[in-house]
Amino acid sequence: MYYYIINPSAGNGKINKIQEKLKGVLSNLGIAGEFVKSTGPGDIPKLTEIGIKKGYSTIVAIGGDSTANEVLNYMPNDKTAFGIIPVGKTNILASSLGIAGWMEACQILAARKTHRVNIGKITTNEGNRYFINKIAIGLEAEIRKNFPAAPKQIVSKVRHNLGILKNSKSFNPFSMRFEIDKSIKGDFKGVNIHITNVSFQKGDQAFMISLQENVPKAEKIQFIKTGDLSYLSDHSSTLYGNHIYLKSSNISVAADDQYIGTTPAEIMVADKRIRIIVGSIV
């Protein structure tokens, strides 16, 4: 049985325009279920817990990255499958799981290809958060805070990208003391630290830690041409580990492309796994 949690404000209310069509598609695929809507802040965690208590086999977030992350953070274990129908302004998490749009998401839910993944847990000044893909510290997290969603109109998108570039130019490199698995200790000065969950690829190492000292001019030019933030995140050093401490203060942190707070931070493998319905994991 499927339990669908709708964020009616996601994507500037896009779900309200396609809701009946979406329900029809899900019904035709044989995966209709209960639909509930959030009405304000704090609603999605409560609705997720209700779905768990009702014993649904699958809980699906209908919205953008923020909706999916809220549901993810209240999934207790891998007994209940987690799915996404992306209709938000930013759908990076869905894309990373091989889900390109809401229509394709319906087909993927019906196919029900699941993947059990170890998820990460990060503790910052603002509390605990779980994440599937990655943590960003520094410039990228600052961009996620100041520019949380990319507009679709061409003129607005150009202004948006120019604003990001201006932000990157004015961003000062930070100093960070780190410790990995209580055995590797060091000091880093640069603009970005990325911690990527590679537990389903790497085997005995849960996280890949990538350090970036600066943003070359050529990469800035490529960002202007494409709007792809990865051009502002070209790494110069890579380490691996399972338990990471970042000891400097007040550096911006993002989890799965959402700003969540500031350092200091502790990153580790969570004591729970999540079963996700995927198109593919890339």
| 235-256 average pLDDT score | 90
How many domains does the chain fold into? 2
What percent of the chain shows pLDDT beyond 90? 56
Residue 216 has pLDDT above 70, yes or no: no
pLDDT score recorded for residue 88: 79
Is 282 part of a structural domain of the chain?
no
Q: Are residues 21 and 91 in the same domain?
A: yes
* Residue 79 lies in domain: 2-113
Least confident interval from 125-134, 195-204, 270-279: 195-204
| 262-279 average pLDDT score | 94
Asked if residue 150 lies in contact with residue 92, where contact means CB atoms within 8 angstroms, the answer is no
- The radius of gyration of the chain's CA atoms, rounded to the nearest angstrom, is 19
**pLDDT tens for each residue of 31-55:** 999 999 998 888 999 999 999 999 9
Is 45 part of a structural domain of the chain?
yes
Q: Which of 113, 147, 170 is the last residue of a domain?
A: 113
pLDDT score recorded for residue 112: 94
Is 212 part of a structural domain of the chain?
yes
Q: Are residues 150 and 267 in the same domain?
A: yes
Q: Are residues 198 and 265 in the same domain?
A: yes
Q: Are residues 87 and 176 in the same domain?
A: no
| 255-267 average pLDDT score | 94
pLDDT mean across residues, the chain: 86
Of 274, 167, 250, residue with least CA distance to 215: 167
Q: Are residues 132 and 233 in the same domain?
A: yes
* The token pair that represents 3 in the structure block: 């339990």
Q: Are residues 75 and 175 in the same domain?
A: no
Q: Are residues 155 and 228 in the same domain?
A: yes
Q: Are residues 102 and 177 in the same domain?
A: no
pLDDT score recorded for residue 193: 94
pLDDT score recorded for residue 11: 77
- CATH classification at residue 95: 3.40.50.10330
List, in sequence order, every residue forming a beta bridge with 211; answer none if it has no partner: 193, 237
**Predicted confidence band at 29 (pLDDT cuts at 50, 70, 90)?**
very high
- CATH classification at residue 193: 2.60.200.30
The upper half-sphere exposure of residue 19, i.e. CA atoms within 13 Å in the direction of its Cβ, equals: 17
| pTM of structure | 0.79
**Predicted confidence band at 179 (pLDDT cuts at 50, 70, 90)?**
very high
Q: Using the structure block, give the residue that is written with the tokens 């809507």.
A: 37
Is 220 part of a structural domain of the chain?
yes
**pLDDT tens for each residue of 220-235:** 556 555 666 665 666 5
CA dihedral 154, 160, 161, 164 (to 10 degrees): 180
Is 277 part of a structural domain of the chain?
no
| 94-107 average pLDDT score | 91
**Predicted confidence band at 238 (pLDDT cuts at 50, 70, 90)?**
confident
Asked if residue 132 lies in contact with residue 276, where contact means CB atoms within 8 angstroms, the answer is yes
Q: Are residues 102 and 169 in the same domain?
A: no
| 144-166 average pLDDT score | 65
Residue 111 has pLDDT above 90, yes or no: yes
